[in-house]
Every structure is written in structure tokens, then in C-alpha cells.
Amino acid sequence: MGNTFLSFALLIIFHFSMPTISMKLTTILTDQSALLALKDHVIHDPENVLTTNWSASAPVCNWFGVSCGSRHRRVTALDLTGLGLVGTLPPHLGNLSFLSLLYITNNSFYGRLPAQLSNLHRLKYLSFGNNNFGGEVPSWLGSLTELRRLFLYQNNFKGVIPFSLGYLSKLEFLTLFENQISGSIPSSIFNISTLQNIYLSYNKLSGSIPSGPHDLLSLELIDFSSNNLSGHIPKDMFDYLPNLKELYLSVNLLSGRIPASLFKCKELQMLSLAYNQMEGSLPIEIGNLSMLQYIYIGRNHFEGNVC
């Protein structure tokens, strides 16, 4: 009787443990399958890193550029920076559900970003900088609400900056310079209270500069240079930027005067307004910016002298 009961109990334990074991195997295999799909989409691997290192015969967590969590042993980071890889991104990458870091910087990937990447809800750090990606900047990026850093610089993205990026309430770095992005700068970006740096230079942005509705205490750098921005700098723009250190607005079509609110930015170290159509006399308050180290205001229509 005792042996029968023990056997029955072990049978129950084995029965209910099977889905757990199967689930763990499935999730590990899901990560492996997603990465092998990426390997298959790479058409040139000049250093043979993926060719020689990414093999189903080795544990995924030991693959080059792959990091796994210590508790659940799922892929949490993928860093393939600077390997000279050529190819496209497969939709399978959206199955890496524990991924918090995805860096594919300094390669030659091309094509559009697959919409399945919108499933990576744990993602905090995303860099596709210095590749050949094209198409529009995807609006689904706004659903990745854990993002801290978004780097899409030096690609071939076109279209407009999605309003949905303003939903990234934890974003610290927004870096989109050297693309072919057009349209206006969405005001929603200035709703992100955690923003530290915004790089939008060397695009085709037009329209006026939006003003933030509230204090952006973390914002230290704004770079909107080398676009087609026009109109006046908002009079109240700098009322909300008490910790701004670097401001780059050169090589645009901006007009009007330097707003008096700029001189509330007591931390300002760099001011670049050159190559615009700004006018008027230089306010004497500019001398109150005691931290200012560099000022570039040439090729405008200013009057008077800088003392």
C-alpha cells in the first residue's frame, strides 16, 4: 500500500512538473531560434564572429555578444557593435521577451525595422546608430515605455518624428542626427521630464521650435543645428530649462531676437546660433552667463558689440 501511494504521488509530481520543464526549454529555445534567425539574415560577417561562435551546439548564453539573466537564464542583452555585419533584422528578434539592451551600432544593416520589435517591452537601451536602416521612424517605438536611451543616428530614416515618442516617459537620450527626417519637431518630446540630451541635427526638419509646457530639470543639451527650422525662438522656451548647458541652433532659418529667457540658463556653457537670420542688438545680460565658454553667433543680422 505504501509503495503504491508513493508511486502515485511521484506520478502526480512528474505530471505537473512536465509543463514547467517544457516551458523552460521552450523559452530558451525561443531565444536561440531568434538569434539563429538573425544569423541567417546576415549576408556578410567579415570577422566570422557569428559564423564560428553562434552554434546550436553551444549554450546561447555563451555566444559572443549575448548576455543572460542570472535568475531565469534568458537573453537580456545583445551587443553586436562594430562587427561590420551586413544584413537585415528578422521579425524573430521580437521574441526576445527579456531583452533590456539591444546594440547593433556601427554595422551595415539595412531595410526597415521590423514591427515585431514593439514586443520588447523590457527594452531600456536601443541603438541602431551608424547603419543603413531606412523607412520612417516607427511610431511603435512609443510603446517601448521602459526605454532610457534611443539611438537611431546616421541612418537613412525618412518621414517625420512620431508624436508617440513623447510617451517614452523614462527616456534620457534621444539621438536622431544625420538622417533624412522632415516635418516639424513634435511638442510631445518636451513632455518627457527625464530627457537629458536631444540630438536632431543634420536632418530636414522645418517649422518652428516648440516650447515645453513645464520644467525640464534634467535637460542639459539641445542640438537642432543644420536643419530648416524657421520663425522665432519661443520667448518662454528657456523658462523651463534651468540646467541647460549646451544649445546648438546654428545653420537654420531662425529669425527674431535672442529671447530674454535664455539668460535664466545659468549653467549654459555652449551657445551656437550662427548661420541664421536673427537680428537685433545683443542683450547685455549675456554677460551674466558666467559659465559660458563658447559662443557662436556669426552670420546673422545682429547689431552692436559683444563686450
Taking only the tens place, the pLDDT of each residue in 51-108 is: 999 999 999 999 999 999 998 899 999 999 999 999 999 999 999 999 999 999 999 9
Q: How many CB atoms lie within 10 A of CB 158?
A: 16
Domain boundaries, the chain: 28-296
Average pLDDT of span 18-30? 53
Q: Which residue's C-alpha cell is 541602431? A: 128
Which strand ranges, in their side-by-side order, compose the sheet holding 253-256? 182-183, 204-207, 228-232, 253-256, 277-281, 301-303
Report the distance separating Cα 8 and Cα 289, nearest Å.
81
Q: How many CB atoms lie within 10 A of CB 176?
A: 24
Q: Which residue has the higher pLDDT, 26 or 287?
A: 287
Residues in CB range of 171: below 8 A, 6 or more apart: 147, 148, 149, 150, 165, 192, 194, 195
Cell numbers linked to 289: 552667463
Q: C-alpha 98: how far from its chain's center? A: 18
Confidence of residue 264 (pLDDT cuts 50, 70, 90): very high
Q: Which residue has the higher pLDDT, 281 or 222?
A: 222
Residues in CB range of 29: below 8 A, 6 or more apart: none
User: Three-state DSSP class for 5?
Assistant: helix
Average pLDDT of span 265-275? 98
DSSP secondary structure of 257-284: PPPGGGGG-TT--EEE--SSEEEEEPPG
The yes-or-no verdict on residue 244 having pLDDT over 50 is: yes
pLDDT for the residue 262: 94
pLDDT for the residue 270: 98
Q: 146-160: per-residue pLDDT in tens?
A: 999 999 999 999 999
The yes-or-no verdict on residue 9 having pLDDT over 50 is: no
Structurally, what CATH architecture does the domain formed by 28-296 represent?
Answer: Alpha-Beta Horseshoe (3.80)
Cα dihedral: 60, 61, 67, 71 (round 10)? 120
> Can you give the pTM of this predicted structure?
0.89
Asked if 78 and 96 touch (Cβ cutoff 8 Å), the reply is yes
Q: 176-219: per-residue pLDDT in tens?
A: 999 999 999 999 999 999 999 999 999 999 999 998 767 899 99
Pairing assessment for the beta strands 86-87 and 42-44 based on DSSP bridges: antiparallel
Pairing assessment for the beta strands 173-175 and 149-151 based on DSSP bridges: parallel
Total residue count of the chain as it appears in this document: 307
pLDDT for the residue 11: 39
Residues in CB range of 122: below 8 A, 6 or more apart: 76, 97, 98, 99, 100, 146
Confidence of residue 16 (pLDDT cuts 50, 70, 90): very low
